[in-house]
Amino acid sequence: MSTTDDSRLHGRRRFLASATTLAAAASVAPALSYARNRNAPDASASDADVVPFFGEHQAGIATPQQSHVYFAAFDVATEKRDELIALLKTWTNAAARLTQGQTAAPLSNDPGKEPLDSGESQGLPASRLTVTFGFGATLFVKDGKERFGLGDHRPAALVDLPRFNGDQLVAERTGGDLCIQVCANDPQVVFHAVRQFARLSYGAAKLRWAQTGFLSAGKSAHETPRNLMGFKDGTMNPSASDSKAMSDFVWAGSETAWMQGGSYLVARPIRIALEHWDRMKLAFQEQVMGRHKDTGAPLGKTGEFDALDLEANDADGNPVLPENSHVRLGAPAVNDGAQILRRSYSYDNGLSFTAERWPPWHQGMEFDAGLMFLCFQHDPRQGFIKIFDKMSKFDMMNQFVTHIGGGVFACPPGVREGGYVGQSLFGVA
């Protein structure tokens, strides 16, 4: 136990040190689609660490990012309110156990019964597993019909996203009445957890879509991970240690009483045309991103954490940071100060057949890979929608990336021991 406690302390200390470093770079702009919390991956944390499930907020939001995600969206298969509540109670109990490194339910060795856990995580450490639940708009009203008596409880902030320029959302990867974001430092642990939730939902809910992802950071705490475009993705996420920033930008407020202390999740799988990107010259890639590839420094600067200079012009009078560069369009300064908490992962779904829309117009199998963009916010109308509306129209990066699905989910506040996720919404114990 002392090893675990030590590594947590160490992690916290480093986190504070890191936050100080970031404060000095406070005007660095966030890069929307490929961004993640620089504070996040905690290389020194032991895989045996347990992230507490119970608390004021759900874990998996302000929690430093783990190395793997399994995001799953479900549709509720019953129209009975008590069956939905029973499912949420069952899921809560399973999540509380799984995050401790236990099986989803107490195991029985009764040979005449189905095992209550599929077993592939036995012997594996907790691996910093977190489970974050969310409710989609269709849980409240679907096809114009109220469900579960929740019609009056849909938060105003749980908006339907507008159709953004370039959206190519496929139904099979979009929406969902419920979602679960499972994160841990082990792919077998996240797979196992989602498998148990699916199994415990038989009859009450069914899987709608899912997406896995990974995130690899160098072992040095000061190294910013790279996305599949090969660029460093250090960004100005609100710092989890800054309670005012978290309250302003991440946690839901009192506008909807049952959501206070919760957060709104926007999830968007974004395919990247890697083969196209890889054929671009280095200088062009850097113009698109607005940063140098090797150092991560903003164009015209030398250090990764140097502030963006949105006003600087080169000798010819052209902006050093191109008007339509990704990093400029995502800067809070051009978005009325909007900020969101990014918690994205690279994804890799193997190969799929693609007919290229760019020279040399290759047809064949290409990587179905990109970014599982996940962001949490106080209100999507002042968060993702605000930032992405302009980006979807003007970002030079759009010729390489395609949003192919996603959803908006209201993630309720954390669970008190003995309670269940969503209890503040259903109002019954």
Binding mask 184-203 for its own copies (x = CB under 8 A): --xxxx-x---x--xx--x-
Site string for its own copies, 88-107 (x = CB under 8 A): -------------------x
Whether the CB-CB separation of 269 and 347 falls below 8 Å is answered with: yes
Contact between 6 and its own copies per CB under 8 A: no
Chosen residue from 206, 303, 333, 358 binding its own copies by CB under 8 A: 206
DSSP state of 52: -
CB of 281 to its own copies, least distance (A): 6
Does residue 346 interact with its own copies by CB under 8 A? yes
- Residue 218 touches its own copies, criterion: CB under 8 A: yes
Binding mask 232-271 for its own copies (x = CB under 8 A): ----------------------------------------
Task: Specify whether the CB–CB gap between 210 and 179 falls below 8 A.
Answer: no
| Minimum CB distance to its own copies smaller for 345 or for 388 | 345
Nearest Cα neighbor of 69 from 339, 286, 360, 372 is 372
DSSP structural state of residue 415? -
Select 141 or 207, whichever has its Cβ closest to its own copies. Answer: 207
Residue 244: left (phi > 0), alpha (psi -120 to 50), or beta? Answer: alpha
Binding its own copies by CB under 8 A: which of 209, 258, 376, 384?
A: 209
Least distance CB 384 / its own copies (angstroms)? 24
Query: Closest approach of Cβ 382 to its own copies, in Å?
Result: 32
Kindly tell me which of 33 and 212 has the beta carbon lying closer to its own copies. Answer: 212
Instruction: By CB under 8 A, tell whether 49 contacts its own copies.
Output: no
What span, in angstroms and rounded, lies between the C-alpha atoms of 292 and 308?
A: 12
Stretch that binds its own copies, among 347-355, 372-380, 395-403, 412-420 (CB under 8 A): 347-355
Give kind and range of the element (H or E) at residue 286: helix 282-289
Question: Is 197 strand, coil or helix?
Answer: helix
**Cβ proximity to its own copies, 156 vs 315, nearer residue:** 315
Which residues, 122 to 181, sit near its own copies by CB under 8 A?
122-125
Residue 261 or 296: the one with the smaller Cβ distance to its own copies is 296
On the 0-12 / 13-18 / 19+ scale of CB atoms within 10 A, 265 is buried
| Closer Cβ to its own copies, 401 or 425, answer by number | 401
| Near its own copies by CB under 8 A: residue from 53, 60, 62, 117 | 117
CA distance 118 to 290: 47
Nearer to its own copies, 81 or 199 (CB): 199
User: H/E element holding 15?
Assistant: helix 2-23
Give the chain's length.
Answer: 429
Whole-angstrom distance, CA of residue 200 vs CA of residue 398: 40
- Residue 208 carries which side chain, given as an amino acid letter? R
Footprint of its own copies on 359-388 (CB under 8 A) = 362, 364-367, 369
Task: Supply the minimum distance, in Å, between the C-beta of residue 165 and its own copies.
Answer: 27
- Of the listed pieces 143-151, 226-234, 383-391, 413-421, which binds its own copies according to CB under 8 A? 226-234
Stretch binding its own copies (CB under 8 A), from 15-23, 251-259, 281-289, 420-428:
281-289
Which of these, 189, 429, 228, lies nearest to 346 by C-alpha position?
228
88: its two tokens: 């949420």
| Phi, psi dihedral angles at 111 (to 5 degrees) | -65, -15
Residue 57 Cα to chain centre, angstroms: 16
In the complex, the smallest distance separating the C-beta of residue 194 from its own copies, rounded to whole angstroms, is: 9
CA distance 226 to 218: 9
Distance between CA atoms of 290 and 276, rounded to whole angstroms? 18
Q: Give min distance, CB of 368 to its own copies, in A.
A: 10
Is 219 or 244 the residue whose CB approaches its own copies more closely?
219
